[in-house]
Chains A and B, each alone.
Chain A
Amino acid sequence: MVGPRWFVGFDSLMEFIAFIIALAIAYQALKGYRLTKQRTLWYVHFGFAVLSVGLLIDSLTGFLGILARTLRGTIGLASIGYSIYFFAQLLAYSMLIYAYVSQTRTLNRTSAPVLFASLFGSATLQAAPVPGVRSLGPLVEYHPIAEIVLLFLVLYVAVQTGMNYSSSKDRNALLVFLAFLFLALSHLFFILQPFRALLFVVGHMFQLVGFLSLFTMLLRVARNQ
């Protein structure tokens, strides 16, 4: 399922904006890594670089999908794009989690419950008699199972950044925390979107706001020299 008809194209545009922001974050992290040789910055760079590639592919396949429909084509480009974007997000968020785990070394205390929760969530949703959920094949456009896995991964990052903000009370830390909170909310709305098409729009709005929050942080970091 996709969002309302009037929203077609806007989602790809929003993802293209998010792609530029993710690329800028990846570049800043790479600059930091080159200067300091800190591995955590390499993980952030790699995570956002992969995320930006996924966003670009999903965005472009979305645009091409519109073009194909106009030309009466039949290729399911959007599904391919989403599948690539899903794996990109999976890798990117796993990389960020690894960065936090490698720094805090709290794998046993926090990461394991998150992973178990995501598996439990997937299993529950698969067993749930939600119309249109069980019948969906693996990784078709906006598969709720895929989104629920991503939700738990982003939630982990949101919790880590939230704890960082609570201890530092720094505005940049707040922006990063809000970014991942909005991204988590976007995945929540993507999960729920089979029930109402408008939730797809809300999900994309939250996703864009999340990336804009990261962009604001980036501007603040670059400006305060």
Chain B
Amino acid sequence: MTQRLPKYRSQMRIYVDIMRVIQREDNHAKPTRILYGANLSYDRLVKHLDELKTLGVIEEIADGDDRFYRLTQKGIEFMNQFRAVERFASAFGFVI
């Protein structure tokens, strides 16, 4: 199929990419892992992590000098819903 992937990721896509990285890291991800995994600059990562915290889908955990991020229950539920929607859309050939 001659699908054209969007040139820029939507905000939703960036959020999902960040949350996917956190899930992949056993729900306990360092900012640097998220930065590389979601392919973001540091400034944008900080901005999006703050937005996700405000939305209540991720939370920050301080462990000494280290900071980790994990999905909240709301975040896990969102990702489950998103995966179902993604499967539904891709069954028709639509890219989210």
Using a CB–CB distance below 8 Å, which chain A residues touch chain B?
28-29, 31-32, 35-38, 40-41, 44, 99-100, 103-106, 160-161, 163-164, 166-168, 170, 172-173, 175-176, 217-218, 220-222, 224-225
Contact of A225 with B1 at beta-carbon distance under 8 Å, contacts A40-B89, A172-B90, A176-B92 already known: no
Which of A105, A161, A220, A224 is B92 in contact with, Cβ under 8 Å? A161
Instruction: List, in ascending order, chain B residues with CB within 8 A of A166's CB.
Output: 1
Contact of A104 with B2 at beta-carbon distance under 8 Å, contacts A36-B12, A37-B12, A225-B80 already known: yes
Contact of A164 with B4 at beta-carbon distance under 8 Å, contacts A36-B85, A221-B88 already known: no
Task: State the Cβ distance, B13 to closest chain A Cβ, in Å.
Answer: 9
* B1, B85, B90, B91: residue with the most chain A Cβ atoms closer than 10 Å: B91
Task: State the Cβ distance, B42 to closest chain A Cβ, in Å.
Answer: 27
Which secondary structure dominates chain B's binding surface?
Answer: helix
Asked if B93 lies at the interface with its beta carbon under 8 angstroms from chain A, I say: yes
Instruction: List, in ascending order, chain A residues with CB within 8 A of B83's CB.
Output: 224-225
Which of A41, A172, A217, A220 is B94 in contact with, Cβ under 8 Å? A41
Q: Which residue of the partner chain B has the closest CB to A41? A: B89
Cβ contact within 8 Å between A104 and B3: yes
Q: Which residue of the partner chain A has the closest CB to B78? A: A35
A-B contact pairs, 7 of them (CB 8 A): A41-B96, A99-B92, A99-B94, A104-B3, A163-B93, A221-B91, A225-B80
Instruction: List, in ascending order, chain B residues with CB within 8 A of A168's CB.
Output: 90, 93
> Given the complex of chains A and B, what is the CA–CA distance between A224 and B85 in angstroms?
11
Cβ contact within 8 Å between A38 and B1: no
Contact of A217 with B91 at beta-carbon distance under 8 Å, contacts A35-B85, A36-B85, A160-B1 already known: yes
Contact of A40 with B94 at beta-carbon distance under 8 Å, contacts A104-B1, A104-B2, A225-B83 already known: yes
Which of B82, B91, B95, B96 is A176 in contact with, Cβ under 8 Å? B91
Asked if B84 lies at the interface with its beta carbon under 8 angstroms from chain A, I say: yes
Which of B4, B84, B96 is A221 in contact with, Cβ under 8 Å? B84
Task: State the Cβ distance, B24 to closest chain A Cβ, in Å.
Answer: 17
Asked if B87 lies at the interface with its beta carbon under 8 angstroms from chain A, I say: yes
Asked if B41 lies at the interface with its beta carbon under 8 angstroms from chain A, I say: no
> Given the complex of chains A and B, what is the CA–CA distance between A73 and B83 in angstroms?
52
